[in-house]
Amino acid sequence: MNRNLVVRHIGRADPAVVAALGEAGTATVHEAIGRVGYVGPHLRPIQHDVRIAGSAVTVLSHPGDNIMIHAAVECCHEGDVLVVVNTAPSTHGMFGELLATSLQTRGVRGLVIDAGVRDTSELRQMGFPVWSQYVSCQGTVKSTAGSVNVPVVLGGLVVNPGDVVCADDDGVVVVPRADAEWALAQSQARITKEAATRERLLAGELGVDFYGLRQKLIELGVEYVDEL
């Protein structure tokens, strides 16, 4: 059965944990939780050097129709990230500066959308970060029902309302709400470990040695020769 719902209230992870996951960065979080959670390379930031995390408020839309994004605004709280998914591919500029203004007044951290956005220069100027599949000034209608705060599939991943959405220059990673604290602990452990690795690499040590890859390469049948 396919009901169209707007779900007003969702659970969210601890804001301090969410913020700390944002600072950890997507590559770290993705690795720390077992190399999962990445939504795919088609979602790209419209800005450089911005790193955020927030609680997902999800929107399921008909392509080229942004009525459900309007419906979602009042469901957003401080610290949220709006996640918009379409029922079929869409290149439309479904979101722009006015919707961002509205979300920014509510403390929303940013937007992730599998379609297009517009007013990208203004969005960068106002400091509202966006990860989208397209940039397009093409406008939308407001005609077809969809849902707010239902589970959606974004890229190769299920996003549940309230999941933690991390986004930076490398893309978008989603952490299930229940795993947020564990993910943060894992991420921080990884950051500590990588700092130590960095020191060794800067000192000239080789990863192939201290990761123990020499033996593995030989087991895999790789041969070392001096010249071709």
In the complex, what is the shortest distance from the CB of residue 82 to a second copy, in angstroms, rounded to a whole number?
13
Helix (H) or strand (E) holding 173: strand 171-175
| Positions 147 through 186 that interact with a second copy (CB under 8 A) | 147, 149-150, 153, 156-158, 161, 168-171, 173, 179, 182
Tokens 């297009």 correspond to 116
In the complex, what is the shortest distance from the CB of residue 20 to a second copy, in angstroms, rounded to a whole number?
17
C-alpha 185/C-alpha 187 separation (Å) is 5
Which ranges of 106-179 would DSSP assign to H, the alpha helix?
Answer: 120-126
Site string for a second copy, 197-216 (x = CB under 8 A): xx--xx-x-xxx--x-x--x
| Strands 110-117, 130-135: pairing kind | parallel
C-alpha 21/C-alpha 28 separation (Å) is 9
Q: How many CB atoms lie within 10 A of CB 48?
A: 8
Residue type, 143: S
In the complex, what is the shortest distance from the CB of residue 84 to a second copy, in angstroms, rounded to a whole number?
13
- Residue selected from 144, 181, 188, 191 as contacting a second copy according to rule CB under 8 A: 144
- Residue selected from 23, 27, 181, 188 as contacting a second copy according to rule CB under 8 A: 27
| Positions 59 through 118 that interact with a second copy (CB under 8 A) | 62-65, 67-68, 70-71, 73-74, 85, 87-93, 96, 98-99, 101-102, 105, 116, 118
Nearest Cα to Cα of residue 131 among 62, 63, 42, 68: 42
- Residue selected from 54, 146, 191, 192 as contacting a second copy according to rule CB under 8 A: 146
- Residue selected from 17, 20, 33, 180 as contacting a second copy according to rule CB under 8 A: 33
